[in-house]
Amino acid sequence: MIIDLPLDGTLPTDIVCSHNRSRHHDSPFHQHSDHIELILFISGDVTFYTPHKAFPVKPGYLIAIPNGVWHRVVTKSADPYERIFLNIKVSLINELSTSRTNLFNCFKTDGTDEVNIFKPNQDFIDDYISFCDQLIPSLDKCDFGNDVRQRILLAQILLIANEVHPVKDQPKNIMPPFLEKVTSFIDNNLAKNLSLSSFANEFFMNPNYLDRSFKKYTGLSIHRYVIEKRIELAKQLLRDGHNVTTVCEQSGFGNYSNFIRTFNTCVGTSPGKYKKKYQK
């Protein structure tokens, strides 16, 4: 079964898990503010992207993605692409952890990498697939004790994920260095003018060539990437309690009506309603 998640990364439940098989996959850049993600790659010719890196993923890799990390996965051929992804709300992991066993450890990076990559053995893969395949059908049931079974399976999955160690040398980054500089420039200047001409002036490159190169590696135009990053910043500011007018200015939109319209389109609700939801 294929599950299509919201494009803005918002997840409606504490747990989302799916064992998917397809031939073509091209997810947009997204991040989950309140959920971590585990992706077990079983087969396929795919590339995993973060804003600053892009690397090929081998079958058998398990990638642990902390909350708030932008990422996307793209298939590079028509080979069958099979994977299991699991999203868990951070607060739920904290509930399952104890003072002696922090189940969030496998998502903590050393600061230089945005995600952790594991290459577990076949016994691990068999157990992981078995636990997930038991968890998936339980997510649609409301039977007595089903919530307890879910927590037991989640605890088993997280326990074995925390028993393997990240690979010492991450796969080679195939993203050109200048694109890393572009994404860093965007992150550091979201509240400022980020027109194509501003990039051309900063990097001394033809703006159309720069935009084509950026889209080739990220799957998004520079304009779309900036919009999505600004929306994520706006969501964070609203959750922190800032008023809508201030958020509009600090996230770089400038034009109030355009901010309201864009936020509604991307998030599915108005900034005011979004703020009230998190204040409650």
Same-domain pairing of 135 and 23: yes
> What is the largest distance, in Å, between two alpha-carbon atoms of the chain?
64
Same-domain pairing of 153 and 181: no
In a domain, 172, yes or no: no
Q: Answer with the one of 161, 193, 219 that is the final residue of a domain.
A: 161
Res. 118: pLDDT tops 60: yes
In a domain, 170, yes or no: no
Task: Supply the pLDDT for residue 9.
Answer: 58
Task: Supply the pLDDT for residue 280.
Answer: 61
Same-domain pairing of 86 and 214: no
Alpha-carbon gap, residue 196 to 158, rounded angstroms? 44
For residue 38, give Cα distances in angstroms to 47, 162, 218, 248: 16, 12, 21, 33
Number of domains composing the chain: 2
Residue 168 carries which DSSP code?
A: S
Q: Could you tell me how many helices (H) and strands (E) the chain has, helices first?
A: 10, 8
**CA proximity to 81, closest of 37, 50, 47, 124:** 47
Alpha-carbon gap, residue 47 to 64, rounded angstroms? 15
Task: Supply the pLDDT for residue 239.
Answer: 87
Q: In the numeric block, which tokens belong to residue 275?
A: 């703020």
Question: How many C-beta neighbours within 10 Å does residue 9 have?
Answer: 24
Same-domain pairing of 102 and 229: no
Average pLDDT rounded to a whole number, residues 93-106: 96
Same-domain pairing of 207 and 87: no
Instruction: State the CATH number of the domain containing residue 84.
Output: 2.60.120.280
Q: Contact, 94 vs 158, CB < 8 A?
A: no
**CA proximity to 72, closest of 219, 172, 187:** 219
In a domain, 127, yes or no: yes
Task: Supply the pLDDT for residue 152.
Answer: 97
- What does the pLDDT look like over 206-257, one tens digit per residue? 888 989 888 887 778 899 889 988 998 998 899 889 999 999 999 999 899 9
Query: How high does pLDDT run on average in the chain?
Result: 89
- What does the pLDDT look like over 152-204, one tens digit per residue? 999 999 999 999 988 887 788 888 888 888 988 998 999 998 988 888 889 88
In a domain, 73, yes or no: yes
In a domain, 58, yes or no: yes
**Could you tell me how many residues make up the chain?**
280
Q: Answer with the one of 110, 135, 161 that is the final residue of a domain.
A: 161
Same-domain pairing of 149 and 44: yes
Task: Supply the pLDDT for residue 27.
Answer: 78
Average pLDDT rounded to a whole number, residues 62-80: 91
- What does the pLDDT look like over 101-113, one tens digit per residue? 999 999 998 878 8
- What does the pLDDT look like over 14-43, one tens digit per residue? 999 999 999 888 877 788 888 999 999 999
Same-domain pairing of 20 and 77: yes
In a domain, 9, yes or no: no
Same-domain pairing of 237 and 119: no
Domain hosting 72: range is: 15-161
Task: Supply the pLDDT for residue 268.
Answer: 83
Same-domain pairing of 193 and 275: yes
Same-domain pairing of 240 and 208: yes
Task: State the sign of the Cα–Cα–Cα–Cα dihedral 122, 125, 131, 137.
Answer: negative
Task: Supply the pLDDT for residue 1.
Answer: 45
Question: How many C-beta neighbours within 10 Å does residue 1 have?
Answer: 7
In a domain, 148, yes or no: yes
Give residue for tokens 């993600």.
Answer: 37
Same-domain pairing of 76 and 106: yes
